[in-house]
């Protein structure tokens, strides 16, 4: 049986709309994409391996160029054949939801992996390890999953109109989009529709997931991100619909926000982050009935709200957020505005614990200064050899997303620490020298030491991003802010 025949069999056996009667039709659809000549043999009968063989066949037959973009577009076209239509998928999802929310998301998640929309093989390349710190076990990941950009794609993107179609990679118009140079293929992409606050939203998985069941909830309308009472309401409604998931929003300002501020969206999934395990350092009385509040023992300044009453929780969150938006404390470099430019917002994260809703509000400030041109509450220069990018939602919760360069750079640091020939990047020198002075380093312990100290650097990164520090001055400043909230 050829790889084409095997793929046809897999299409019919999948949840696609096709049956045995469609066998010849599917076979010809595939030949139309890859060419008529003898197909390349697959290394095994896994769907992704069969897909790889068909893509190689298309290259061999001159149907596509041997470039990353062309291969991705064809691979997703082929996987589209094993993927239900959006209408069928949505109907199946919500039918399964009647059994339980977990049954529905399990179905959608498994399908998104099976059709290679979630790039499980690429994700498996990521380096992941825990790191013990004063704030508990942080999670360190070195992100190796996203492929290097195709030079042709980079050039094409430069010439692409800014009002192209789709408007951005989060728009619903991506569902089934073929892709092009400089823009990802989405033929096998599907979105679940749901309603939040009377508006239509979408639910999908992230193709290059940073954690288990990494989900994205996106507004049907392409509009900028904003944090307000409706945001908090939407987050609570999502965890009400999917109580086994958490959901949070990146902040809505540059520096402290995520990488896509132009389209309203949230991220969620099935993972317990370090911040969620962090205890309450001290309780607060915000003067709002039926809401427990406390300052979380966490490097970033976080207030945790807990209640079984959604309205009371919304009132508390909105009160904190609104006071913070206009709050300044010059003693600790906290300023809500400079020259009428807003600097304050929050990063909210919602989840359910039994019958209780839990909403964490992380206070954010995106000021810059002469001393800290990248951000006063941003990773400072001495830790940027490990992390210099924005501290977004996932990192706020204690999971570092570190750049791929570190896989080889940290190995060179280890070589340097052992006195071996190395090509260590100069920016790591002060850090490496400090480690040399601190530890008795051997071949047996060097990697454990480097991993542990990367974790400590990440803890420092989070502390840099915290507006109220964990010292006497910072705790007094946090108390002043809480007093302002109570007085509002």
- The pLDDT tens digits for 48-78 are 999 999 999 999 999 999 999 999 999 999 9
Digit-coded pLDDT (tens) for 217-230: 999 999 999 999 99
Digit-coded pLDDT (tens) for 71-101: 999 999 999 999 999 999 999 999 999 999 9
State the pLDDT at residue 156: 57
Residues 478-485, mean pLDDT to the nearest whole number: 96
Pair of tokens at residue 122: 């690429």
Residue 205's pLDDT band, with cuts at 50, 70 and 90, is very high
25 has pLDDT over 80? yes
State the pLDDT at residue 176: 97
State the pLDDT at residue 163: 61
User: Average pLDDT, whole number, for the chain?
Assistant: 95
Digit-coded pLDDT (tens) for 248-306: 999 999 999 877 899 999 999 999 999 999 999 999 998 889 999 999 999 999 999 99
Residue 148's pLDDT band, with cuts at 50, 70 and 90, is low
Task: Return the SS3 of 195.
Answer: strand
Share of the chain above pLDDT 70, in %: 97
Share of the chain above pLDDT 90, in %: 92
Which residue, among 24, 35, 88, 27, has the nearest Cα to 62 in the 3D structure? 35
Digit-coded pLDDT (tens) for 150-160: 556 555 555 55
State the pLDDT at residue 81: 97
Question: Rounded distance, CA 66 to CA 55, Å?
Answer: 9
8 has pLDDT over 90? yes
Q: Pick the residue with more confidence: 16 or 45? A: 45
16 has pLDDT over 90? no
State the pLDDT at residue 160: 57
Per the listing, tokens 């940290």 go with 410
379 has pLDDT over 80? yes
The answer to whether the beta carbons of residues 76 and 179 sit under 8 Å apart is yes
Which residue, among 297, 277, 301, has the nearest Cα to 396 in the 3D structure? 301
pTM above 0.85, yes or no: yes
Residues 6+ apart with CB under 8 A from 229: 314, 317, 318, 321
Question: Rounded distance, CA 159 to CA 486, Å?
Answer: 53
Digit-coded pLDDT (tens) for 396-405: 999 999 999 9
Q: Pick the residue with more confidence: 153 or 209? A: 209
State the pLDDT at residue 17: 86
Question: Rounded distance, CA 284 to CA 361, Å?
Answer: 14
State the pLDDT at residue 1: 87
The answer to whether the beta carbons of residues 313 and 350 sit under 8 Å apart is no
Sheet bearing 399-402, strands edge to edge: 127-133, 136-142, 399-402
Pair of tokens at residue 228: 């307000």
Cα 403 to chain centroid distance, Å, stands at 14
State the pLDDT at residue 475: 96
């Amino acid at each position: 049986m050829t790889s084409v025949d095997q793929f046809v069999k897999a299409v019919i056996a999948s949840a696609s709309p096709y049956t045995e009667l469609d066998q010849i039709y599917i076979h010809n659809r595939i030949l139309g994409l890859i060419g008529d000549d003898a197909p390349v043999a697959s290394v095994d009968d896994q769907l992704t391996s069969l897909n790889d063989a068909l893509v190689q066949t298309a290259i061999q037959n001159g149907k596509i160029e041997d470039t990353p973009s062309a291969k991705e577009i064809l691979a997703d076209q082929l996987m589209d054949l094993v993927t239900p239509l959006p209408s069928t998928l949505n109907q199946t999802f919500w039918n399964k939801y009647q059994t339980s929310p977990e049954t529905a998301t399990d179905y959608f998640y498994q399908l998104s992996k099976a059709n290679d929309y979630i790039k499980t093989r690429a994700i498996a390349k990521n380096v992941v390890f825990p790191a013990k710190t004063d704030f508990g076990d942080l999670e360190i990941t070195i992100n190796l999953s996203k492929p290097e950009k195709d030079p042709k794609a980079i050039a094409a993107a430069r010439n692409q109109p800014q009002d192209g179609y789709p408007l951005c990679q989060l728009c619903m118009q991506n569902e089934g989009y073929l892709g092009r140079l400089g823009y990802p293929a989405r033929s096998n992409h599907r979105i679940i529709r749901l309603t939040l606050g009377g508006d239509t939203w979408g639910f999908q998985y992230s193709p290059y997931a940073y954690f288990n069941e990494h989900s994205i909830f996106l507004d049907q309308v392409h509009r900028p991100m904003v944090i307000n009472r409706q945001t908090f309401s939407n987050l609570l409604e999502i965890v009400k619909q999917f109580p086994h998931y958490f959901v949070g929003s990146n902040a809505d300002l540059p520096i402290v926000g995520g990488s896509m501020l132009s389209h309203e969206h949230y991220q969620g999934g099935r993972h317990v982050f370090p911040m969620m395990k962090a205890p309450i350092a001290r309780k607060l009385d915000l003067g709002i009935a039926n809401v427990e509040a406390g300052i979380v023992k966490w490097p970033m300044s976080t207030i945790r709200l807990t209640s079984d009453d959604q309205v009371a929780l919304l009132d508390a969150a909105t009160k904190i957020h609104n006071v913070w938006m206009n709050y300044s404390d010059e003693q600790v470099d906290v300023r809500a505005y400079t020259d009428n430019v807003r600097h304050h917002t929050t990063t909210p994260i919602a989840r359910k614990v039994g019958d209780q809703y839990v909403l964490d509000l992380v206070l954010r400030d995106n000021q810059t200064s002469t001393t800290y041109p990248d951000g006063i509450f941003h990773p400072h220069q001495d830790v940027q050899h490990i992390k210099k990018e924005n501290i977004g939602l996932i990192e706020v919760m204690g999971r570092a997303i570190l750049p791929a360069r570190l896989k080889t750079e940290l190995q060179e640091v280890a070589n340097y620490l052992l006195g071996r020939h190395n090509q260590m990047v100069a920016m790591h020198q002060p850090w490496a020298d400090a480690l040399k002075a601190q530890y008795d380093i051997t071949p047996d312990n060097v990697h454990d030491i480097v991993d542990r100290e990367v974790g400590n650097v990440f803890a420092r990164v989070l502390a840099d991003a915290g507006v109220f520090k964990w010292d006497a001055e910072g705790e007094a400043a946090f108390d002043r802010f809480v007093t302002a909230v109570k007085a509002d």
